[in-house]
Amino acid sequence: MEKSRKVMEEFLEIWHEALSKRSLPGKFVNIDLNFGEFGLGDNYTPQHTAVRYALVMAHMIATVQAVRG
């Protein structure tokens, strides 16, 4: 529980920063993923959701870091 709390706190911090600036480059788009690349099947599971969250976080972190320089 404590590990997930830290991840969620970091996510919300980055999310808040992204929304407050509204000047970050790019936009949010839905990207169809090939979950097979992650060893996941066709039936959607919590692991599919975790992959999506991880990719969103990675994109947001990269965007914030690019803006910060």
Position 32 scores a pLDDT of 80
DSSP 1-68: -HHHHHHHHHHHHHHHHHHHH---SS--------GGGGT--SS--HHHHHHHHHHHHHHHHHHHHHHH
Q: What pLDDT does residue 27 have? A: 65
Distance CA 25, CA 68 (A): 12
| pLDDT tens for each residue of 47-60 | 998 998 888 888 87
Output the pLDDT for position 56: 81
The pLDDT assigned to 23 comes to 57
pLDDT in tens, 14-61: 777 766 766 556 666 667 889 999 999 999 999 998 998 888 888 878
